[in-house]
Chains A and B, each alone.
Chain A
Amino acid sequence: MSSTATGVRTALYERHVDAGARIVDFAGYQLPIYYTGIVDEHNRVRRSAGLFDVSHMGEFLVTGPGALETLERLLTNRVSTLVPGGVRLSFMCYESGGVVDDLLIYGLEDGYMLVVNGANREKDLEWVRGHLLEGTELHDVSDETALIAIQGPASETVMRGVTGGPLSELGYYRFRRMDVAGHAVLVSRTGYTGEDGFEVYGDPLQAPDIWDALLESGRDQDVRPVGLGARDTLRLEMGYCLYGNDIDETRTPVEAGLMWITKLDKGEFIGRDAIRRMKEDGPRERLVGFELSGRGVPRQHQDIHSGGRRVGEVTSGTFSPSLKRGIGLGYIESAVSGDISIEMRGREVGATTASLPFYREGSVKRRK
């Protein structure tokens, strides 16, 4: 199937084409949106495991004696207590408290690795570069880093077939360097699906080998590649935010309900004062999850109504293959909850606000 996409190809492009992927442009890259179908791939991850090419993510190395203080000022989460082998989720914010990006920070032996959204790579690089304290080095290693994620309850079983590394001792949001399919990689127990899983950072030249080895190891569990379409339905079932939809420079961690990665009691960081003020005053709008009572699929930018007037807007919407109904996230006036309606192509469809996650059977909770 020929593609009219124009972005950069990852090291796994040929694999995706051979597997019959529908390729689209995403974050400047050519990536598979699906192979066999979004629902099929989504269900496979929940039931067994799937492989994701997420090489479009950006990776930065921040090292040197100034690195800790630089990052402590840039990130909303605490960095000083991040030990080697640990991973944390964090925001970077503007002075206004609006979000620059959400990212993972890895505590390396000799510094830190930031993993940022692919679409924000240039912006984030400039932002970090513009705030480097003395004695800090910043290297964008995104082009030298391929990233493969395996997600699903069978992930550990599949990984055991390709590595002798200490998987069962590798806890959630921890990482280790190990050999996978004979190649030196960094493996973290992280993911964006609500299932157990691993993310494997390695050399792009070795990515096809690692990809093939994982598929081979996963043959008995019927492990297959999974595209961006199912990645979105999986994360939305967990209520995870997507930058550009649910969070952006106009939204703060307070409104997004993500204060647990925003440590107001640590030292000064960019945006702290604005965030503290908004937390004290109470945000005018807050991010909620909702489920449709009627038929239809909610979509970004649709109006949310309550009590006969517009109270907000949908930021992410999809059909949940696990719940078999429309679900979504959106910002609504803080006082509103319960019964709402979504305006979908001229029709009001009833919905109710729901606590997150929508999907509660994920294997990420059952892990030891």
Chain B
Amino acid sequence: MSQSGLRFTKTHEWVREEGGEVVVGLSDYAQGELGDIVFVELPEVGSSVSKGDSLTTIESVKSVSEIYAPVTGKVASVNDALDAEPGTINTDAYGEGWILRIELSDPGELEGLMSSDEYEKYTKG
């Protein structure tokens, strides 16, 4: 799945808007930096999150990374398949490697996120 049409944070999360929810994942650039992902801690469904909160940790063979909430809202669902196959984030970061869905409190928060082109520039610079 391509990265155009997605919006990005400075901490390398991507979001895709679907109705009143956003799907959230880790960018392809960030999974490349992390290397082989071996564990993903998934947040609790139903928990409230504020923009910028640490949502989960992603552990790779060589390091650990935090995933931060790109928006404020409630965790609507999580990708349980990552429990058994955490490497899906490496192989399909924008598709099957999605991490969680957040029910949006404030759609306005999406405006502050980077476009795909802006994120490209951000990671190259």
Interface residues in chain A, defined as those with a beta carbon under 8 Å from any beta carbon in chain B: 33-34, 37-40, 229, 233, 295-297, 318-319, 321, 345
Residue of A nearest to B32 (CB): A22
Question: Which of B10-18, B55-63, B101-109, B115-123 interfaces with chain A?
Answer: B55-63
Contact B61 A229 (CB under 8 A): yes
Residues from chain B with a CB closer than 8 A to the CB of A321 are 61
Q: How far is the CB of A272 from chain B (nearest CB, A)?
A: 39
Bound Cα distance from A38 to B34, whole angstroms: 11
Interface status of B38 (Cβ within 8 A of chain A): yes
How many residues does chain B have at the interface if contact means C-beta atoms less than 8 Å apart?
Answer: 13
Q: In the complex, what residues of A have CB within 8 A of residue B90's CB?
A: 37
- Does B92 make an interface contact (CB < 8 A)? no
| Chain A proximity mask over B48-79: 1 for CB below 8 Å, otherwise 0 | 00000000010111101000000000000000
Q: Which residues of B are found within 8 Å of A319, using beta-carbon distances?
A: 36, 38-39, 59, 61
Partner of A297, one of B41, B59, B87: B59
Chain A residues with CB below 8 A from B36, complex form: 37-40, 319
Q: Restricting to B15-46, which residues have a CB under 8 Å from any CB of A?
A: 35-36, 38-39, 41
Q: How far is the CA of A330 from the CA of B44 in the complex (A)?
A: 33
Residues in A whose Cβ lies below 8 Å from that of B38? 39, 297, 319
Is A38 a contact of B39 with CB atoms below 8 Å? Answer: no
A242–B117 Cα gap in the complex (Å)? 43
- Known contacts: A37-B35, A295-B39. The answer to whether A345 contacts B57 by CB under 8 A is yes
Given the interface pairs A34-B35, A38-B35, the reply to whether A297 lies near B57 with Cβ below 8 Å is no
Among B39, B61, B87, contact of A296 (Cβ-Cβ < 8 Å): B39
With A and B bound together, what is the CA distance between A37 and B86 in angstroms?
A: 14
In the complex, which of the residues B38, B41, B87 has the most CB atoms of chain A within 10 Å of its own CB atom? B38
CB proximity of A19 to chain B, nearest CB, Å:
16
Q: A39 contacts which chain B residues (CB < 8 A)?
A: 36, 38, 61, 87
With both chains docked as a complex, state the minimum distance between the C-beta of B43 and any C-beta of chain A, in angstroms. Answer: 15
A279 CA to B64 CA in the complex, in Å? 39
Is there an interface contact between A38 and B57, defined as CB atoms closer than 8 Å? no
Question: Which B residues are in CB contact (< 8 Å) with A34?
Answer: 35
Query: Within the assembled complex, what's the spacing in Å between the Cα atoms of A345 and B64?
Result: 10
Q: In the complex, A199 Cα to B87 Cα: how many Å? A: 32
Query: In whole angstroms, what is the CA distance A37 to B37 when docked?
Result: 10
Whole-angstrom distance between the Cβ of B66 and the nearest chain A Cβ: 10
Residue numbers in B under 8 Å from A295 (CB-CB): 39, 41
Contacts of A345 in B (CB 8 A): 57, 64
